[in-house]
Structures are given as structure tokens and as C-alpha cells.
Amino acid sequence: MRVTTLHGARDLRIEEHPLPIVSESTDAVVKVVAGGVCGSDLWWYRGLNPLPTRRLMGHEVVGVVETTGSAVTRVKPGDFVVVPFCHADGTCVACRGGVQSACLELGSTVGGQGEYVRVAHADACLFVADPPADDLLLRSLLTLTDVLATGWHAARCAGVAAGRSAVVVGDGAVGLCGVLAASILGADPVIALSGREPRQGLASAFGATQCVGSRGQDAVRTVRRLTEGVGAHAVLECVGTGDAMEAALQMARPGATVGFVGIPHGVELPITEMFRRNVGVRGGIAPVQRYLPHLAEMVLSGRIEPGRVLDREVTLDAVAEGYQAMDTRQAVKVLVRM
């Protein structure tokens, strides 16, 4: 099968690899219909994560079940499925506690920007849906694998509540999904930090009541002005850099929580300042399976259209162009069509 492979910074190649196989009785192999390029893929692409050897890229997949192991009963070949990036067993103590992303038997999607993927714990992991009738629904289903659930996790961790203010740091696909989540959960105002179209337009469409285009301390001052002078009730940190976390903490009012879902790169917490202001942080890798049924229901009923964040589509052969478009912020998020 053909799959996107990263050999070093900005060195993407399409390579032939052996087809993934059912190696455990609880596995399935899924033929990829569409994969996503994630903001977290860009950390690798930009050479900001140590890359010991080549890496198979892609962990966001919707597709069709090709084969299943002997213990798989809930999904069958031919089913159209949403594949959460974390493959939880659904039974361990972490899963039972709702933290499927910290499953003790965790697997994950590898090589999703390719033709086939192996899925561990297929019965517990895969979400079966009717094949999408239109392209926007396909894209929205693809967001369920990661970015929508991650934005939702940021909102839940931040304690977003109806009638209370929320601010979202980051205007990538996760940040925009965070805006959507805060809006669905009834936050008011919902302040998006975004300076440019088409991201501002998407943020507004997803329920942002204000977009703040300034950066750094200017943005902190503006957000505080919009939130009774003290900062928001809930802050969603959807970037992962030290600067983003610093801004997020400064935009949190006393007693507030920063929900953080950006993969931390160079983040240090000012614990004394947090202690003094009673500001907390809570977050991590999104437990996709915990949120998936509820989020899928909103997608399938047409109540939300998170697929709008996927504003560029490429073929597998052109995947490098997709990465480049996201790297230069020409695209919010890229769909790779197999």
C-alpha cells in the first residue's frame, strides 16, 4: 500500500509499505477513504520533534472496514467507520474512568495518510455510520476522529458554562472547533483570537461573538476589556507553545481554568502566579471515545458542521502540497483523499 512517510524536516515521500494485517483477534483493518493532516503533524514536519527514523504520517481517518479479527463482533467488513486516533480497549480502569486516551492498552492510528490502517480494539474503538451522502458530511465525520473531540475536550476541561465568558487561544482547526464547542455549551461571550480571514469568518460561523486580531499583551488587554476587566471564566488553549499558554493564563480570571489541548512544546507553568490567582490548568489528549456518540449525533443531525475547517483537499500524491499549505497558513486544515 502507499502511505505518506516523513524522513526529515519537510521531507515527505509517498512510499510502498506492506499492508497492515489483523495481528490480534480484536483488530480490524480499515481501507482509508479520507485522512486529515493535523496541526500536530506539523510539529514533525517542521522538525520540531526529534525524528529517530522515518515516520508514517496520519492519525485521522474515515474509511471502510476491510477485514476483522475473529473476536470482533460489532463491526464487519463493508461498514463505513470513523476511526478515533486513540484506540482504547474500553474496559481498563482508565477507560472506565472516561480517560480513554490514557487507556492501559492504548493503540493509535498510524499511517492514516495512506491507503490502509490497522485499528486495535476495533469493537470498542470504531464508530459505524452510514456512508456520508455529501462531501461536507464526510469532512465533518473526519473531524470526529480528532479535532472536534479535542476542541470539545478543551471546552470541557476549561469548565465552559452557559452564560459565562470563554476565550479560545489558537485559530487552527482545533481552536475553531473549541469555538464551536464553547458556543454549543452556551458560553457568552465567545471570544476567538484570530486576526485573519478565512479563520475569523469560520470562528464567527461557529459562534464566536468577537474576534480579537491583536497579539501578545495587546490581545490580553483586549480580552480583559471584553470580560469585565479581569479575564474570562473559561480559557481554551489550543496551540501548545509557551507564549500561547502564557497568554491563556493571563486571560483567565481569578478562579478560572485553562483547558489545554495543544501538545506542549516549551511550556512552563508560573505556579506561584497561578497559586496567587487561583488559576488552574486541566487538559491533555482528548478521550475521543467519551465524546464521540454525542458529537456524532450533532454532526449527523446537521446541527453542527465542523467539517468546514477542512478547507483544502489533496490527493495522496499531492500530500506535500497540503502540508505546505498548512505550514504557511494558506489552509486551515487539509483532507487527503485516497
Chain residues binding Zn ion by CB under 5 A are 88-89, 92, 95, 103
Q: Which three cell numbers stand for residue 156?
A: 470541557
79 or 89: CB nearest Zn ion: 89
Tell me the helix, strand and coil percentages in the chain, rounded to 5.
35, 30, 40
112-125 exposure pattern, b = at least 16 Cβ within 10 A, e = fewer: bbbbbbbbbbbbbb
Q: How far is the CB of 215 from Zn ion (least distance, A)?
A: 40
Q: How far is the CB of 126 from Zn ion (least distance, A)?
A: 15
Q: How far is the CB of 295 from Zn ion (least distance, A)?
A: 20
Q: Which three cell numbers stand for residue 255?
A: 478562579
28 or 334: CB nearest Zn ion: 28
Q: How far is the CB of 159 from Zn ion (least distance, A)?
A: 25
86 or 252: CB nearest Zn ion: 86
10 or 96: CB nearest Zn ion: 96
Q: How far is the CB of 91 from Zn ion (least distance, A)?
A: 6
Q: Phi/psi of residue 249, each to 5°?
A: -65, -35
107, β-bridge pairs: 87
Cα gap 142→284, rounded to integer Å: 21
Q: What beta strand segments (E) does 149-275 contain?
A: 166-169, 190-193, 210-212, 232-237, 252-260
The DSSP output letter for 130 is: P
Q: How far is the CB of 107 from Zn ion (least distance, A)?
A: 10
Cα gap 127→30, rounded to integer Å: 12
95 or 181: CB nearest Zn ion: 95
24 or 321: CB nearest Zn ion: 24
